[in-house]
Amino acid sequence: MSQPASTTSPAAPKSDPAAKHPRVLRLDVRTLSLLGVLAALVVIGGITQPDSFLDTDNLQLVLTQASVIGVVTVGMTFVIISGGIDLSVGAIVALAGVWSTTVATQEYGFAGVLFTAILVGVGCGLVNGVLIAYGGMVPFIATLAMLASGRGLALQITDGKTQMVTVPGVLKLGERDSYVLGIPPLVMVFVAVTVIGWLVLNRTTFGRRTVAVGGNAEAARLAGIDVRRQRLYLYLLSGLCCGIAAFLLIVLSGSGQNTNGNLYELDAIAAAIIGGTLLTGGRGTIVGSVLGVLIFTTIQNIFALNNLQSDVQQIAKGAIIVVAVLVQRRTASTSH
Amino acid sequence: MPETTSRRGLIFGAAAAVTAGGLLTACTSNEPSDKSDDKKTDDQPVADDKKGKQVTIGFAGPQADHGWLNAINDNAKERAKKYADVTLETTEGSNDTAAQIGQVETLINKKVDVLVVLPADGKALTQVGLKAMRAGIPVVNLDRIFNTPQAYRCWIGGDNYGMGLSAGHYIGEQLKDKKNAKVVELAGLDNLELTKQRTEGFDAALKNYPNIKKVARQAAEFTVESGQAKMAQLLQAQKNFDALWNHDDDQGVGALRAIKQAGRDDFLMVGGAGALSAFEEIKQDRGVLKATVLYPPTMAASAIDLARALGQGKGISGMAEFEIPAHLTLYSAVVDKKNVDQYMPTGFK
């Protein structure tokens, strides 16, 4: 299935505009489906809780809550499109968060906290990348090892204690005073990462190579792409996103905890999947994944506003994932 | 059936031994008065601070990934250091049932005199408690109770239902003169029995105040992150309410963050468990957090005291009996601005 797709790809520039039309249409159908689901959720929220759902505060709330996992998901999407997987994103968020909130790190102020979070994220991504790209380890195993090591190291650093943020600049970033035109800074970062992610995936050589590696790694290698280096860069990218997410999370929660980022890997993978990313690689969009994040966050929001408990939320989430995958299969059949 | 008989017999034998020890001590205390000056401290029926018989205590707790659990471990170790006659053997701690079973068995094999166990899951670790009792090592079951009393000699723990009662009554008294008062609840992990008990206690207490209605409840996960996220949602869902009870002070850090981020200060908040950060907020009295209800991590220190007395065949100070009790439920005290200084040293981080 993927081979015909890759065969079609090089031919695309030489074909007449009509050949491009089906591809664009297919993308639009998927995106429109997700937007439809989101619109349906907005209607449901608006009907069940008109006073609290449909207002600026709630929009800010949903987007803020989507921002941390959203940034992680952008990185995860790149990795999955390349045919890989990253189970360690939650652990990396926790580790970067606790490392950047130690008393020693906070002495360096805002810049110290931010730099440390990103550096730890990229560092973990580098370890993952080297093990997978050059060590020949299966992504699932390598990132599973990083998950365990990252959590363990985070626990060791904190000794189970909650590390409070004391740097005023970091705390202030999460408060209402910092909103610009009513937009929380965390949301701005999320939007920026999304836009940059979209541009990188769709408008750069790096992005095209990512899709090529995921579609058919051997063909990509024969085409002259350094597959190993590409994979390394992708895990670095995922680690970078985790570092940014860790910073956003400590701004949001005002602290670093070894339990932060719990099950982020599952949330990110789930959002990418319902967004249309194939776990086998070779296909996926940033827009789809971000819409996936927004769908899950909106559902969570509607449940909370209606005072429904979290066990029902988990069931709903699982149901949506199943439906999304079934719809994907139907779409895949149609494309054949 | 033979196995059951054997098990019961062994336990009865152990109990008989303890009882016999008690009786012997009682006989000793009835010595003629003209010899009372010669009575040795070892023969006293109640354990005190004076050095007595050497006791090795094995301590097995869960992994300290939450401030409260960390404080449990600290309390146990600090208390053991206080006694010259106590040797403490500790495991590294695990939240995995199988791993913790292995750790307890290691302590059994070391033939410690008394075991103190805080199981990650009380029901799941019952068998290893029974194994220790059958091996002749009495168990002090800390907080998360085993399935059967045969698995421990003494249980000591907090009062989850009582936390709810204390929080409910505190809020009730603060709002008793307010018509149509609304309260919201931020619970901990909903799949835990203790969370349900806390909610039941809270609801029961609020029934005493007809003017108060609980309008919303959401469950977080005892973490700062989940506390912030769920509280933000509760604040959005409930534009007006008069009081909030948050079950756990660690997730309370996140809840307070959400409250500050939302710019809300029109209600009072009661916390739970007794974190140092909560005590500091209460003392400063600059925000909505006015009180917290305790779930004392000092229970681990008391467990060491109980284990030492048990190992020395004595009762405990403050009680007339020659043996330690079978159950001790700790009170969930309310800590507010008036008494917070007194509790500051016990706050967990």
| Complete DSSP assignment for A130-173 | IIIIIS---HHHHHHHHHHHHHHHHHHHHTT--EE---HHHHHT
- Averaged over B211-232, what is the pLDDT? 95
- Averaged over B134-150, what is the pLDDT? 95
Chain B residues lying within 8 Å of A61, measured CB to CB: 232-233, 236
Chain B residues lying within 8 Å of A259, measured CB to CB: 65-66, 223, 225
Band (pLDDT 50/70/90 cuts) for residue A14 is very low
Q: How many CB pairs under 8 A join A and B?
A: 106
Assess A149–B contact: CB distance below 8 Å, yes or no.
no
**Closest Cα partner for A308 from B269, B255, B237?**
B237
**Closest Cα partner for A121 from A39, A35, A242?**
A242
Whether residue B69 and residue A160 make contact (CB cut-off 8 A), yes or no, is: yes
| pLDDT exceeds cutoff 90 at A60 | yes
Q: What pLDDT, in 10s, does the model give residues A180-190?
A: 999 999 999 99
Band (pLDDT 50/70/90 cuts) for residue B51 is confident
Output the pLDDT for position B7.
32
Give the distance from residue B262's alpha carbon to the nearest chain A alpha carbon, in angstroms. Answer: 7
Give the residue ranges of DSSP H helices in B93-237: 97-109, 126-134, 160-175, 193-206, 224-237
Other beta carbons less than 10 A from residue B191's beta carbon: 11
Top-confidence residue, B4 or A40: A40
| pLDDT exceeds cutoff 80 at B98 | yes
Q: Which of A255, A300, A304 sits opposite B224 (nearest CB)?
A: A255
Q: Write out the H or E segment, with its range, that includes residue B88.
A: strand B86-90
Phi, psi of B232 (to 5 degrees): -60, -40
Assess A175–B contact: CB distance below 8 Å, yes or no.
yes
Output the pLDDT for position B120.
86
Output the pLDDT for position B81.
95
Q: Which chain A residue shows the shortest CA-CA distance from B348? A: A161
Assess B223–A contact: CB distance below 8 Å, yes or no.
yes
Whether residue B236 and residue A161 make contact (CB cut-off 8 A), yes or no, is: no
Output the pLDDT for position A26.
52
Q: Which of B67, B228, B237 sits opposite A162 (nearest CB)?
A: B67
Whether residue A255 and residue B253 make contact (CB cut-off 8 A), yes or no, is: yes
Whether residue A259 and residue B223 make contact (CB cut-off 8 A), yes or no, is: yes
Whether the Cβ atoms of residue A238 and residue A125 lie closer than 8 Å to each other: yes
Whether residue A252 and residue B217 make contact (CB cut-off 8 A), yes or no, is: no
Output the pLDDT for position B191.
85
Assess B190–A contact: CB distance below 8 Å, yes or no.
yes
- Averaged over A15-36, what is the pLDDT? 63
Top-confidence residue, A19 or B148: B148
Give the residue ranges of DSSP H helices in chain A: 2-11, 17-48, 50-53, 56-81, 89-99, 103-106, 109-129, 139-158, 168-172, 185-203, 205-215, 217-222, 227-253, 264-274, 286-305, 310-335
Range from A303-307, B31-35, B150-154 that averages highest in pLDDT:
B150-154
Top-confidence residue, B168 or B49: B168
The 8-class DSSP code of residue B58 comes to E
Q: Which chain B residue shows the shortest CA-CA distance from A179? A: B261
Structure tokens at B249: 């002070």
Whether the Cβ atoms of residue A69 and residue A267 lie closer than 8 Å to each other: yes
Q: Which of B218, B239, B253 sits opposite A52 (nearest CB)?
A: B239
Q: What pLDDT, in 10s, does the model give residues A238-282?
A: 999 999 999 999 999 999 999 899 899 999 999 999 999 988 899
Q: Which chain B residue shows the shortest CA-CA distance from A299? A: B233
- Averaged over B210-215, what is the pLDDT? 96
Chain A residues lying within 8 Å of B254, measured CB to CB: 253-255
Whether residue A174 and residue B65 make contact (CB cut-off 8 A), yes or no, is: no
Q: What pLDDT, in 10s, does the model give residues A209-244?
A: 999 999 999 999 999 999 999 999 999 999 999 999
| pLDDT exceeds cutoff 50 at A13 | no
Q: Which of A69, A252, A297 to mutate to test the interface with B (most CBs of B within 10 A)?
A: A252
Output the pLDDT for position A336.
41
Q: Are strands B268-273 and B243-246 parallel, antiparallel or unpaired?
A: parallel
Q: What pLDDT, in 10s, does the model give residues A145-159?
A: 999 999 999 989 988
Residue reference for tokens 């806390």? B198
| pLDDT exceeds cutoff 70 at A21 | no
**Closest Cα partner for A246 from A77, A139, A63, A113?**
A113
C-alpha gyration radius of chain A: 20
Mean pLDDT of chain B: 87
Assess B254–A contact: CB distance below 8 Å, yes or no.
yes
Assess A309–B contact: CB distance below 8 Å, yes or no.
yes
Output the pLDDT for position A331.
63
Mean pLDDT of chain A: 88
**Closest Cα partner for B52 from B309, B225, B269?**
B309
Assess A253–B contact: CB distance below 8 Å, yes or no.
yes
Output the pLDDT for position A311.
79
Output the pLDDT for position A2.
36
Assess A67–B contact: CB distance below 8 Å, yes or no.
no
| pLDDT exceeds cutoff 70 at B132 | yes
Chain A residues lying within 8 Å of B74, measured CB to CB: none
Residues 283-342 of B with CB under 8 A from A: none
Q: Which of A250-264, B72-86, B90-104, B255-269 has the lowest mean pLDDT?
A: B90-104
| pLDDT exceeds cutoff 70 at B23 | no
Q: Which of A16-25, B62-71, B203-212 has the lowest mean pLDDT?
A: A16-25
Band (pLDDT 50/70/90 cuts) for residue B44 is low
Band (pLDDT 50/70/90 cuts) for residue A315 is confident
Top-confidence residue, A334 or B340: B340
